[in-house]
Amino acid sequence: MHFSKIFYVVISAILVTIFMLIIYVFPTYNIIGRSQGKPVKIYFADNISPAHIELIKLFNEKNKGKIEVVPLNLPFSKFSTNDRKELLARYFRSKSDRIDVFSVDQIWVPRFARWAISLDGYIPDSERTSILKYALKTCVYNNTLVAVPLYIDIALMYYRKSLIEKLRNTKQIEAELKKSITWEDLISLKKNYPNNPLFVFQADDFEGLVCIYTEILANMHGKVVENDSLLIKSRQAEKALQFLDDLVNKYRVSPKNVLRFKEDDSYQYYLQNNGVFLRGWTGLFKNNNVGNKYLYLRNDIGEAPTPHLKGSKPTSVYGGWDLMVSKYSTKVPEAIRFIKFLTSKEAQKILFEKGGYIPINNSIYEDTSYVNKNPELKFCTKLLKNGLYRPFTEQYTNISDILSYYVNQSIKGNLTPRDALYKAYDKLNSKSILLK
């Protein structure tokens, strides 16, 4: 076994141990607590942001003496999305009832459905109509509602206004940006910025790389998976990967540094190095630790749809997190009450205003005066209409782990796009797991 694999296994074991210690330092409260007049404690695992803390405090005040939510913090600063996925999966295999409500990346829903209760009997159709359709779609698996959305997200492109204003055709470029600039036009701008990173994105070996690859592939009318069939040996798949390679190695619009960037790394680099364009997610200056350090740049950063290839339509990958109730929970009624609170208009406004999370409650978008006061909601609404779902399959997390590794190897120049995709295809067909 290579040293890197040993290191990965050791680190994973340490993270699992830390996570289990976090869980088990809390005392056990079960149904007996109800009869003793004590508040029923439900445990909620998520990245607990300041907005989450405010919501938990408000819920506990509203249900004082009856229900108390205890947060179990899995911060993005310490646990990557892949770490969280593995930690939760290993935890639920132990069949413990210590976690009641947990959040999952929307693409994990098929994988975690086995450890969650059906919500069909708790969330009737009349209540589901209040939830944004783009977000609700990710919560249904095998025709069963197994989750509810906490918030939705979508990819976008940030740009430095002061740098765009230096161009002779500023107005034309700004107009193109607002409707989605073509990749061809964006690449042509490189000559105007010889000393600035033109386009910063996330190309490390992780899910974020698969997101941008999926967008490029969609621009070429291709897919990663369709009807549980892998399509990564197609001509479109190879062309899409070649295009990502070219952004770094041929056109040089993206620095080689992107090969080690996840989201926060790319944000830090972009803001520190006077980058022109940045592919990212919403809420850069609201729910991101890096953005909070650069608030003085906030007025100089504009938002635009992600680029598209000529002849294709603009499209951005959906993101976001959903809530599930553990099938091992002994406090389901209280857990349901909590998740209904989190999806309410009141709670969703707090998540948006305090954390920048895109709301999933339709009544917020129907409130014209509120939307007019928050124009970013109008912008997000336009992006959501052109959103792209990643493959919704139980095998997707393994597909992503393997595909991201080989796509990253291709951009590094260690494999040709064709070889990378064929190796990924063979690895996935062998049903093996890639240790990184």
Mean pLDDT for each 10-residue chunk of the chain (436 residues)?
A: 46 56 48 64 96 97 98 87 88 95 96 97 95 97 97 98 95 96 98 97 96 97 92 97 98 98 95 97 84 91 97 95 98 98 98 95 96 94 94 91 97 98 95 60
Q: What is the predicted pLDDT for the residue at 15?
A: 57
Hey, what's the torsion of the CAs at 355, 360, 362, 364, to 10 degrees?
0
Q: What is the predicted pLDDT for the residue at 27?
A: 43
Report the first-to-last Cα separation within the chain, whole angstroms: 11
Beta bridge partners of 323: 103, 148
Beta bridge partners of 153: 319
Q: What is the predicted pLDDT for the residue at 79?
A: 83
Q: What is the predicted pLDDT for the residue at 291?
A: 83
Q: Is 120 buried (19+), middle (13-18) or exposed (0-12) by CB count in 10 A?
A: middle
CB count in 10 Å sphere of residue 330: 17
Domains of the chain, CATH where assigned: 3-153+319-376 (3.40.190.10), 154-317+393-429 (3.40.190.10)
Rounded CA separation 140/146 (Å): 6
Place of tokens 């409130």: 367
Token reading at 28:
């056990």
Backbone angles phi, psi at 335, to 5 degrees: -65, -40
Farthest-apart Cα atoms in the chain, separation: 74
Residue closest to 128 by CA, chosen among 105, 144, 104: 144
